[in-house]
Amino acid sequence: MRVTEKTRIGLPRARIEDLRTRQANINEQVSTGRRINRPSDDPLGTMRITNYQTTERQVEQFQRNLERGSAFLHQADSALNESVDSLNRIRELTIQSISAVLTQQDANSLAAEVATIREHLISISNTRVGDQHIFAGFLYDLPAYTAAGVFQGDTNQVTLEIEDRKVVPITVPGGAAFGDGTAGTQDVFATLQNLVTQIPIRNVFAFANIEAELANLQLAQEQMIQARSQIGIRIAQTEAARNVNAFLNERVPADISAIADADMPAAISELTLVDNALQATLQTAGRVLNGPTLLDFLR
């Protein structure tokens, strides 16, 4: 087969252009520290990186949700813990009030203390995180309870996604904790108001009513404890999710790095090989073509 002048010139030129392209690509990897600098460098790797970056953004959002959710749940837990303690004190006062030897003045003092604690509990029921009332459901812009102790929220719960497809409620409906006057809940504030009314009345009928309210007080306390136990479960869920997200927060960037980053020792070694091959090819081409004209043209 006859080798034409065009072929004799074209073969070295193609080899040199290929080496220079490889040289430029490796130089870019060394300068940027990245193996993939554009999608065409590795389409499959680019797709995997995109998926990992989506996961990164999701984890960042989950972390923000966890911070917000933890604030709500811990605030609710603290509020209900204080409320249970307040009901313990009211139980003590109520038991004292049914003593036959109690003076009218003492009974009035007990009723006044119950009234004070009731007002404090109404304040607790209107606990907020930021500008959101945590026991008001979706109507969190308004206090959950009026000054008279009437529920004005709803039964909905605010939820947040804390892991992929894992959603937890971060609020408690007021009715589930303090009662809302409907069947199935014990209205704490109505019970306490009845005690405030009955304790100063010193007769057997009032004593019977007070004893009935003691039973209601027990139901109210159990209701609060149950609501608090649900909060405890959710706090445990957020802590577990926090651990999962912390793991992903470390793992995902490492996975991206493993795909996208250049192996610097290998890249530098390859660059040396390509540089040497390019120089050898240029020298060989010069000899083959018997002169510098082609080399000057290519350079």
How many CB atoms within 10 Å of residue 265?
A: 8
Q: What is the pLDDT of residue 277?
A: 64
Q: Output 179-187 pairs: Cβ under 8 A, ≥24 positions apart.
A: 179/151, 179/220, 179/223, 180/151, 180/153, 180/155, 181/150, 181/151, 185/223, 186/216, 186/219, 186/220, 186/223, 187/149, 187/220
pLDDT at 1 over 50: no
Model confidence pLDDT, tens digit, residues 148-204: 999 999 999 999 999 999 999 999 999 999 999 888 899 999 999 999 999 999 999
Segment 218-242 mean pLDDT: 97
pLDDT digit string, tens, across residues 15-32: 777 767 676 676 666 777
Residue extents of the structural domains in the chain: 5-33+262-298, 78-257
Q: How confident is the model at residue 223 (pLDDT cuts 50, 70, 90)?
A: very high
Burial 106-120 (b: 16+ CB within 10 A, else e): ebebbbebbbebbee
Domain 78-257 sits in CATH 1.20.1330.10: yes
Cβ-in-10-Å burial (0-12, 13-18, 19+) of 38 comes to exposed
